[in-house]
Amino acid sequence: MTRNLVQWLADVDMGDVSSVGGKNASLGEMIRNLNAQGVRVPDGFATTAEAYTAFLEANDLDPRIREQLKGWSSGDRSLEQAGSAIRAMFAEAEFSDELATQIRDAYAELGRRYDTTDVDVAVRSSATAEDLPDASFAGQQDTYLDITGDEDLLRACRDCYASLFTDRAISYRAEQGFDHHDVALSIGVQKMVRSDTAGAGVMFTIDTDSGFPRTMVLNAAWGLGENVVGGEVTPDQYTVFKPFLDDESLTPIIGKVLGAKEKKLVYADSGDDPTENLDTTAEERAAFVLDDAEILQLARWGVVIEQHYERPMDVEWAKDGRSGELFIVQARPETVQSQADAATLSSYSLKETGDLLASGLAVGQAIGAGPVQVVRSADDIETFTDGAVLVTEMTDPDWVPIMRRAAAIVTDRGGRTSHAAIVSRELGVPAVVGTGDGTSRLDDGRDVTVSCVEGDEGHVYDGILEFEREEVDLGDVPEIRTRVMMNIGNPSAAMRWWRLPARGIGLARMEYLINNVIKAHPLALLHFDELTDDDAKREIAELTAGYDDKGAYFVDHLARGLATVAASQHPEPVVVRLSDFKTNEYAGLIGGTQFEPEEENPMLGWRGASRYYSDEYRDAFALECRALRRVRSEMGFTNVIVMVPFCRTPDEADRVLEEMAGNDLRRGEDDLKVYVMAELPSNILQADEFAERFDGFSIGSNDLTQLTLGIGRDDPRLTEQFDERNPSVLRLVSELIETAHAAGKPVGICGQGPSDHPDFAQFLVEKGIDTMSLNPDSVLEVVRRVAETEAAQG
Ligand code: PEP
Ligand code: MG
């Protein structure tokens, strides 16, 4: 009787994990079920667990392995000794004729399917205890690439079996409590995707840092995908908003960050090592690996895969350089966010700042502090002290035991989906990856604080800084009538708060985004050639590398930032306020001084609406409009409402609306709503006239208090008297709500008042405010308070 020691991937599915392991079963599952939906997976076959057991038996390996491992656990021999003895046994073992024949036959058949002899294949192990949802075994076993011919294939298969007993695989299983004898190994043999001449990477079908389920993250680098998974390089990163993928007319790519892609892994022409890691060229570094159409195609496949498995997935993809086709080469359940407790939110905040020593990508949403310990190679990991900040070039699975004990992790290389990032998230240890030069800038023993709560960028500060950790309980949040929204400045912070019971963004301050993300003055970008400040010129040239049209740099980054904020609450309304820098703040942007007048009192100067239609700023305003148009029409976020700040008179309102219309942003067209801030007493005293021109109001209690009481909002001597609850301010607020409601227009508030003063929030609810936009960290408390007020109102 012949046994089925080999199975075609197309003949297996998730029901066969015990026979072909999670990885192969998952590939089979996709080939079987998702091919019809266009998901392309390379064909191949797998050896079964039965084949592995038969191999052990035929070579009498089982008792000898047991003996070695027993020797290790009793302390008679070291892990290294036991491991190398076991691997030596595998090296001498022989395949039975039965197994060898079945592998050879399947290999020949695969060649026929691809119209070639000696078809090139990738050989991967798939342990039958691998990829369980609660234990990410990522990268535990070896992979052999570009294998051709029977004999090389059989050799790779034997090496694959032996790789189940690398030192790190043995210690990992011991640590995770898996019995070595319960784990069998299936070998996957799959048609090679020649990504060495193109690119490859990974995608997670949810936001890896916040768990937000409606965006996905893709990473990409040149060459074979191992560099991305292993964190050898800082890859490109693309973020896609999933709900819009069905609409072919939209391009919902809301994030695109060019990675340094320092190396590319290709096949070596000669030598023992089949692959080599080459330095990338300047051109390769400056170019995105995937174009928009490719990003969207992969993202669509990601959604199909996620829907099929009914859970968030971690997917590997590769692009074939010969055909230009994309392939899915692996899919497994995402293990961190999907297991996170959805009912609580840990919230860290930094209470002071220090000198910035290094920065990179922030992973996780926490803060850690301790003395730096630079560990340069895996050989030195024994020296690591608990609670230190691990600083290293990059990590791989050997490092997991010390990563677990670190207060924070800082790596020179790697992206958001690198090994270091994945493991840090899984362990809940904050990490800053891809610092470039952290290992040379951070001295051993120096106390540092690693912060991953200030947006996409993670920071390493000098000294142990004060920070706070709060566990927010999201259970039992009462239902309320008043719409509670959030104020968001930094787009990367928006995703963080998606679990809060807020319904929309009441204020996205565009100037914060310009400051954090764009960094340069819009007029300095538009008039680059006329810049007189050489430093500014150099900095802008660096920021806008790859852009011939520097205005396009502004529009691209602004549009993606706004889209990120819009995505975080879609389909709820997201109110984006046009820029409201003061002249002194604008001057602080790169290249800004040349374009800004020096004003005696910028708070009362050329700010808000007055700039947009002025000859000096008009061209820059057109960039803001272009970005908004893209967000609404090309990306699809029609939930974006535009808001005009600091609009002094109805006449000024007309001029701004006209300027917007000239830039193809017409109120009422494509459902575009335009709100106005109510932050000058004139906005309220003439509210009836403003109501004719706008779709709604949002009270800016900060400026309104300043201008009603004549107290500079930043004046340290007058802070005591600065109070939104002053009777004059309250009267103005009541009057506005009344007038606006009489005109059928909604009124919200987005100033700081209700976040700071629960009694002010209560007053607003009593007066019938429609929406209240709060700082994210005050949402829960205010919601509870509002519930009481509403209950008392009956
Ligand atoms: C306000 O004035 O209350 C407001 C929300 O705007 P900003 O604080 O940005 O001036
Ligand atoms: Mg204001």
- CATH number at 402 reads 3.50.30.10
φ, ψ of residue 415 to 5 degrees: the values are -115, -165
**Residue 456: CB within 6 Å of ligand 1?**
no
Pocket test for ligand 1, best of 485, 512, 750 (most atoms within 8 A of CB): 750
- Tell me the one-letter amino acid at 484: V
Element (H, E) at 450: strand 447-451
Total Cβ atoms within 10 A of residue 530: 11
Residue 1, domain member (yes or no): no
Residue 624, domain member (yes or no): yes
Q: How far is CA 259 from CA 233, 238, 363, 716, in A?
A: 8, 10, 16, 43
Pocket test for ligand 1, best of 486, 490, 509 (most atoms within 8 A of CB): 509
* Residue 1: per-residue pLDDT: 58
Is residue 234 located within the same domain as residue 359? no
Q: What is the mean pLDDT of residues 744-758?
A: 93
Is residue 181 located within the same domain as residue 213? no
φ, ψ of residue 41 to 5 degrees: the values are -130, 130
* Residue 132: per-residue pLDDT: 46
* Residue 168: per-residue pLDDT: 80
* Residue 512: per-residue pLDDT: 87
What's the 752 CA to ligand 1 centre distance in angstroms? Answer: 8
Q: Which of 652, 658, 702 is nearest to 680 (CA)?
A: 702
- Tell me the one-letter amino acid at 74: S
Is residue 23 located within the same domain as residue 85? yes
**Residue 751: CB within 6 Å of ligand 1?**
yes
* Residue 129: per-residue pLDDT: 62
Is residue 451 pLDDT above 90, yes or no? yes
**Residue 679: CB within 6 Å of ligand 1?**
yes
**What domain count does the chain have?**
4
What's the 645 CA to ligand 2 centre distance in angstroms? Answer: 7
Element (H, E) at 201: strand 199-204
Query: d(Cα 392, Cα 398) in Å, to the nearest integer?
Result: 13
Is residue 639 located within the same domain as residue 720? yes
- Tell me the one-letter amino acid at 234: T
DSSP string, 644-687: E-S--SHHHHHHHHHHHHHTT--TTGGG--EEEEE-SHHHHHTH
Q: Which of 670, 722, 730, 667 is nearest to 699 (CA)?
A: 730
β 505-509/467-473 pair status: unpaired
CA angle, residues 767, 504, 477, in degrees to nearest 5: 75
Residue nearest to atom 8 of ligand 1 (CA): 702
The CATH number of the domain holding residue 330 is 3.30.470.20
Is residue 312 located within the same domain as residue 400? no
Confidence class of residue 99 from pLDDT cuts 50, 70 and 90? Answer: very high
Residue 269, domain member (yes or no): yes
DSSP string, 50-95: HHHHHHHHHTTHHHHHHHHHHHHHTTSS-HHHHHHHHHHHHHH---
DSSP string, 539-600: HHHHHTTT-SSHHHHHHHHHHHHHHHHHHHHTTS-EEEEPP---HHHHHHSBT-GGG----S
Total Cβ atoms within 10 A of residue 628: 25
Residue nearest to atom 6 of ligand 1 (CA): 700
Report residue 267 as tokens: 């096949």
**Residue 726: CB within 6 Å of ligand 1?**
no
Q: What is the mean pLDDT of residues 269-277?
A: 78
Residue 477, domain member (yes or no): no
Query: d(Cα 266, Cα 268) in Å, to the nearest integer?
Result: 6
Ligand 1 nearest-atom number relative to CA 645: 6
Q: How far is CA 426 from CA 380, 419, 429, in A?
A: 23, 11, 8
Ligand 1 nearest-atom number relative to CA 487: 5
Q: In angstroms, how far apart are the furthest CA atoms of the chain? A: 96
Is residue 497 located within the same domain as residue 629? yes
What's the 751 CA to ligand 2 centre distance in angstroms? Answer: 7
* Residue 137: per-residue pLDDT: 46
User: Could you tell me the pTM of the whole model?
Assistant: 0.85
Ligand 1 nearest-atom number relative to CA 703: 2
Residue nearest to atom 4 of ligand 1 (CA): 700
| Sole residue written with tokens 């209560």 | 762
| Sole residue written with tokens 């535990």 | 140
Residue 324, domain member (yes or no): yes
**Residue 701: CB within 6 Å of ligand 1?**
yes
**Residue 703: CB within 6 Å of ligand 1?**
yes
Q: Which of 153, 144, 396 is nearest to 274 (CA)?
A: 144
Q: What is the mean pLDDT of residues 231-259?
A: 95
Confidence class of residue 141 from pLDDT cuts 50, 70 and 90? Answer: low
* Residue 358: per-residue pLDDT: 95
> What is the SS3 assignment for 240?
strand
432, β-bridge pairs: 362, 410
Confidence class of residue 226 from pLDDT cuts 50, 70 and 90? Answer: confident
Q: What is the mean pLDDT of residues 382-402?
A: 86
Q: What confidence tens digit (pLDDT) does each residue in 684-696 have?
A: 999 999 999 999 9
Q: What is the mean pLDDT of residues 719-735?
A: 94
Residue 358, domain member (yes or no): yes
Domain end (from 437, 471, 505): 471
Pocket test for ligand 1, best of 512, 679, 684 (most atoms within 8 A of CB): 679
Is residue 346 pLDDT above 90, yes or no? no
Is residue 455 pLDDT above 80, yes or no? no
The CATH number of the domain holding residue 143 is 3.30.1490.20
**Residue 750: CB within 6 Å of ligand 1?**
yes
Is residue 459 located within the same domain as residue 502? no
Least reliable range by pLDDT among 328-337, 527-536, 594-603? 328-337
**Residue 700: CB within 6 Å of ligand 1?**
yes
Q: How far is CA 288 from CA 261, 265, 554, in A?
A: 10, 17, 18
Is residue 503 located within the same domain as residue 642? yes
Q: What is the mean pLDDT of residues 208-237?
A: 92
Confidence class of residue 356 from pLDDT cuts 50, 70 and 90? Answer: very high
Is residue 130 pLDDT above 60, yes or no? no
What's the 492 CA to ligand 1 centre distance in angstroms? Answer: 21
Q: Which of 767, 677, 696 is nearest to 731 (CA)?
A: 767
* Residue 250: per-residue pLDDT: 98
Q: Render the burial of 373-401: b for 16+ CB within 10 Å, e for the rest.
A: bbbeeeeebeebeeebbbbbbbbbbbbbe
Residue nearest to atom 1 of ligand 1 (CA): 700
Q: What is the mean pLDDT of the chain?
A: 91
Residue 298, domain member (yes or no): yes
* Residue 131: per-residue pLDDT: 45
* Residue 135: per-residue pLDDT: 39
* Residue 284: per-residue pLDDT: 96
**Residue 775: CB within 6 Å of ligand 1?**
no
**Residue 702: CB within 6 Å of ligand 1?**
yes
The CATH number of the domain holding residue 668 is 3.20.20.60
Is residue 768 located within the same domain as residue 669? yes
Query: d(Cα 145, Cα 672) in Å, to the nearest integer?
Result: 53
Q: Which residues contact 83 (CB under 8 A, 6 or more apart)?
A: 165, 166, 167, 170
Please say whether the beta carbons of 668 and 635 come within 8 A.
no
**Residue 650: CB within 6 Å of ligand 1?**
no
Domain end (from 157, 192, 227): 192
Query: d(Cα 617, Cα 657) in Å, to the nearest integer?
Result: 15
Q: Which residues contact 75 (CB under 8 A, 6 or more apart)?
A: none
What's the 733 CA to ligand 1 centre distance in angstroms? Answer: 15
φ, ψ of residue 372 to 5 degrees: the values are -70, 135
419 is catalytic: yes
Least reliable range by pLDDT among 301-310, 524-533, 762-771, 784-793? 784-793
Residue 47, domain member (yes or no): yes
Is residue 195 pLDDT above 60, yes or no? yes
Is residue 53 located within the same domain as residue 111? yes
Is residue 72 located within the same domain as residue 115? yes
Percent of the chain topping pLDDT 90 = 72
Domain end (from 192, 207, 231): 192
Pocket test for ligand 1, best of 507, 644, 702 (most atoms within 8 A of CB): 702
Of 157, 160, 419, 452, catalytic? 419
Q: What is the mean pLDDT of residues 186-191?
A: 95
**Residue 194: CB within 6 Å of ligand 1?**
no
Query: d(Cα 447, Cα 530) in Å, to the nearest integer?
Result: 45
Is residue 273 located within the same domain as residue 393? no
Least reliable range by pLDDT among 217-221, 419-423, 508-512, 524-528? 419-423
What's the 699 CA to ligand 2 centre distance in angstroms? Answer: 9
User: Of 124-128, 637-641, 777-781, which one has max mean pLDDT?
Assistant: 637-641
Least reliable range by pLDDT among 377-381, 386-390, 461-465? 377-381
Q: What is the mean pLDDT of residues 620-634?
A: 98
108: domain range?
Answer: 6-192
What's the 646 CA to ligand 1 centre distance in angstroms? Answer: 9
Percent of the chain topping pLDDT 70 = 97
